[in-house]
Amino acid sequence: MPRTARTATPQAFAPAPLGPLTLRNRIVKAATFEGVMPGGTVSDELVEFHRRVAAGGAAMSTVAYLAVSPEGRTDRHCLLLDEATVPGLRRLTDAVHAEGAAAAAQIGHAGPVANARSNRAPALSPSGGFTPMGSRLRAVDVAGIERITEDYRRAAALAVEAGFDSIEVHVGHNYLLSAFLSPKLNRRDDQFGGSVENRARFARTVLRTVRDAAGPKTAVTAKLNMADGVAGGLWLDESVEIAALFESDGALDALELTGGSSLANPMYLFRGDAPLAEFGATLPPAVRLGFRVVGSRFLKSYPYEEAFFLPYARQFRRALSTPLILLGGITELATIESALAEGFAFVAMARALLREPDLPNRMQAGTSTTSLCIHCNKCMPTIYSGTRCVLVADRPGSD
């Protein structure tokens, strides 16, 4: 008998396994920087943002971005996962659990994406040099790699203590682990540079370390760039090979597939309109003039298409048995169902849930089949004042 929306529960809303977890459905809130952690503290606004997502029906809400090292923060208002932040994060995970959802912690090291001036610490990269905006980068030495790996171990253990059900290791967007994977950014001639296997060594060590620290009751996933969107950067041929190496290590319960570079091409991840004027207005007056000149080269415009990463992600689906989480402008229930039918384990939504945190509930109830998000991307510049959809007048100043 043919399935209809009125007579059967869509596959999207059936319980689903993620490693040791059973999630209530297959819709995950992707990590989006919340911008409501003044001085790196857990605020009421941060707790409420993730509570609303959980109450809205998503199976799991991902807290972004939790730095494992002080210099690995994106800036001084980024949360550092240490003993001081555990009580606040426990309050957040308790609020999410009370709404019936799971909570994930995205952990990582910003590397070359870090704001060195705000952090008052050098921004680290595989090979040093300068960012596209002219900031100096310092090459991390082997001792630094070992120290940061230990920072990941400690952060994973603290995430478990804080009540997180899942840990997502950020290996995308040219943050530090992603930068090591990039042939453009990694010009090392030691055991961490050159071949694909060498460039993947740091990330693989971190993933195994996190897996060991997380224990058997916590899921571990990674967010991996399929393509950097930058000339000379990581591309599908090598990223599929890297994903296969990750799979062979057995440290991951799922892999979330992404792309783009926060360092050089962030719109590759977002697609749709580039909010040049709105982003420029957030910058200090001394910087705005320069941004008017180079801004269109940093925030490039790409046409929006539903599930725009799906053609890339299919390459991974064919090559791997690891459960995959599909990301990339997903707004339609039909697209979710189609992706699951192709064999993807979960879908991750970000902008759609900024616009409507209760979208999963309404999709499940049959009162909505698509998001109202218009992909204007004017949510992007709000990361400095509380990430939100600017089209929703009653939204509090949070993620």
- Output b/e per residue, 360-389; b: 16+ Cβ within 10 A: bbbbbeeebeebebebbbbbbbbbeebbbb
Give the N- to C-terminal CA distance of the chain in Å, as an integer.
43
How far are the Cα atoms of 13, 104, 110, 238 from residue 263, in angstroms, in the given order? Answer: 36, 24, 10, 20
Cβ atoms < 10 Å from Cβ of 91? 15
Which two three-digit tokens encode residue 136? 């100096």
Placement of tokens 């740091």 in the chain:
202
The SS3 assignment for 224 reads strand
- The reply to whether 175 belongs to the active site is yes
- Strand ranges, E, within 254-357: 254-259, 324-326, 346-349
- Identity at 259, one-letter amino acid code: G
- The length of the chain in residues reads 399
| Residue 196: closest CA among 123, 246, 269 | 246
| Cβ atoms 335, 369 nearer than 8 A | no
Catalytic residue (one of 65, 152, 175, 312)? 175
Catalytic residue numbers read 175
